[in-house]
Amino acid sequence: MARMDDGETVAFLFSSLNCSHCLAWEPTFVSFLSQENYEVVLYQNGTMLDSEWKRSVAAIQTYFHDTETIRMATPLLFIGDKQSFSFAGTSDTSQERLHSNFKAQGDGGHITSFRSIEAYQRYLATTPDALIYLYDSASSNVGHTFYVDCLFPAAKSSSKPLALLDFQGMNSTNQTTALTLFGLSAFTPILKQKESVYNLAKESEVASATSLVQKYYR
């Protein structure tokens, strides 16, 4: 929800390991994601504790002030931003309809957020000129401030691609791979575009990073 507060469009799926409809729909949904670069936040009962899953559903219900559409039922797929959400799919939704729903409501301009390095690398193979930002969405550090104050305002209305790597949202394997890709021994916010790389933890590089954003989106 912090990401939606920051202005991102976020897709989220409620699912369950014990749901026959979820299991039947899984091949369709996985095939759809394999063809796209969309990130979907998964709330899966059975992977998460039942109590944790229910708290997550309730938190999103509260965020959008809706307990009718957003229910403790599975599978339910939604796309939301700071102001509203849209229903995007359930067990009888075809791949074609998923494509249509995401294109209409959920691609968030050209901002794509990644928690999977594998998905990020697939994206980069087809979008090599994208602006890339490694940051921590859960922390109020300089990297997050730079994103909210400088990067997102420039990116939200542009057609140029921005890839966000949400370090905090990654599992340990993806975190380790991300550090290796960026030549880091520990997390630090990094802005990159082709050969231009700036470390936002270094005050001396913030101005150059800001200039890169301005040039990229002019």
Q: Chunked in runs of 10, what are the mean pLDDT values of the chain (218 residues)?
A: 79 94 95 81 94 95 92 94 88 91 64 83 89 84 86 84 88 95 95 96 95 95
CATH of the domain at 9: 3.40.30.10
169 and 149 both lie in a single domain: yes
157 and 175 both lie in a single domain: yes
71 and 127 both lie in a single domain: no
CA 167/CA 169 separation, integer angstroms: 5
pLDDT at 37: 67
36 and 128 both lie in a single domain: no
Look at residues 106, 138, 164 and tell me which one is the last residue of a structural domain.
106
119 and 93 both lie in a single domain: no
> How many domains, in total, are found in the chain?
2
Contact indicator for 11, 41 with CB cutoff of 8 Å: yes
SS3 16: strand
Say which residue the tokens 């939704």 belong to: 93
188 and 120 both lie in a single domain: yes
Residues with Cβ within 8 Å of 129's Cβ and at least 6 positions away in sequence, in order, are 161, 193, 194
SS3 179: helix
Q: Find the domain containing 171 and state its range.
A: 111-217
Q: Which residue, among 85, 87, 93, 38, has the nearest Cα to 60 in the 3D structure?
A: 85
Contact indicator for 40, 78 with CB cutoff of 8 Å: no
102 and 129 both lie in a single domain: no
Look at residues 54, 76, 106 and tell me which one is the last residue of a structural domain.
106
Element (H, E) at 192: strand 190-193
Instruction: Note the pTM of the prediction, 2 decimals.
Output: 0.60
Look at residues 106, 139, 154 and tell me which one is the last residue of a structural domain.
106
128 and 63 both lie in a single domain: no
Contact indicator for 32, 98 with CB cutoff of 8 Å: yes
As a residue count, the chain comes to 218
